[in-house]
């Protein structure tokens, strides 16, 4: 019996070790599974009289900006607002509530929602073709106005918060970018946001 004792001890040790090993890795698996969070993709469709523009929103990089944009969109703030500033090969700009009224044309580009909030500059986001960024009057003066880049405007990277990019309808953006303009870079032909619909997937 004594000669089998060492073997028995070794077998018990191996059994305990394997059991501990399996429990250890099962716990790791469970911990990893608990940490896996499904990615929520947020998009918005800007419906205009020129066609639809679908935007992917960068909620992780610019959470306050995206939250503000969604709030205004859901409240109908952007409905009926014009793209009041268009500069070919540069950008198209909208979001001023005064642009609904022709009589207030001199004030187009000066309006907002009634509040301002800080910039959210992210080193991985750049003002390249198709990105959407906040227009402002200086640092930390974001409100409701935004622009879509028609070119790579990297000189704007440290001054304007990039909060999304066009994923469908870039041909609509380019068409708007080619409209005839008058004084103040205002389109001669009305370019109107009919509504903005937000979706989470």
Is 90 tagged catalytic?
yes
Is 147 tagged catalytic?
yes
Is 13 tagged catalytic?
no
Is 57 tagged catalytic?
no
Residue tagged active-site, from 47, 68, 93, 149: 93
Residue tagged active-site, from 50, 68, 69, 85: 85
Residue tagged active-site, from 136, 142, 149, 153: 136
Residue tagged active-site, from 69, 83, 147, 163: 147
Is 136 tagged catalytic?
yes
CA distance readout (Å), 150 to 128, 131, 133, 201: 8, 8, 12, 27
Residue tagged active-site, from 160, 163, 165, 186: 160
Is 160 tagged catalytic?
yes
DSSP structure string for 127-191: --TTEEEE--SSTT-B-S-EEEESS--GGGTTTS-EEEEEEE-HHHHHHHTTS-B-GGG-BSS--
Residue tagged active-site, from 57, 72, 150, 156: 156
Residue tagged active-site, from 90, 100, 107, 122: 90
Catalytic residues: 85, 90, 93, 136, 147, 156, 160
């Amino acid at each position: 019996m004594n000669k089998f004792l060492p073997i028995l001890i070794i077998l018990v040790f191996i059994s305990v070790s394997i059991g501990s090993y399996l429990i250890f890795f099962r716990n790791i698996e469970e911990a990893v599974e608990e940490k896996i969070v499904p990615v929520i993709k947020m998009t918005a469709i800007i419906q205009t009289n020129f066609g639809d523009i679908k935007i992917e929103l960068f909620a992780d990089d610019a959470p306050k900006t995206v939250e503000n944009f969604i709030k205004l969109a859901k409240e109908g703030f952007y409905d009926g607002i014009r793209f009041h500033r268009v500069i070919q090969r540069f950008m198209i700009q909208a979001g001023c509530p005064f642009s609904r009224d022709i009589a207030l044309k001199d004030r187009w580009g000066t309006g907002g929602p009634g509040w301002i909030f800080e910039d959210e500059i992210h080193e991985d986001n750049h003002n390249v073709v198709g990105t959407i960024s906040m227009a402002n009057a200086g640092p930390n003066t974001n409100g409701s106005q935004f622009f879509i880049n028609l070119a790579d405007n990297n000189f704007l990277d440290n001054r304007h918060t990039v909060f999304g990019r066009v994923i469908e309808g870039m041909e609509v953006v380019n068409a708007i970018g080619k409209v005839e303009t008058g004084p103040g870079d205002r389109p001669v032909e009305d370019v109107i946001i009919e509504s903005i619909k937000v979706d989470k997937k």
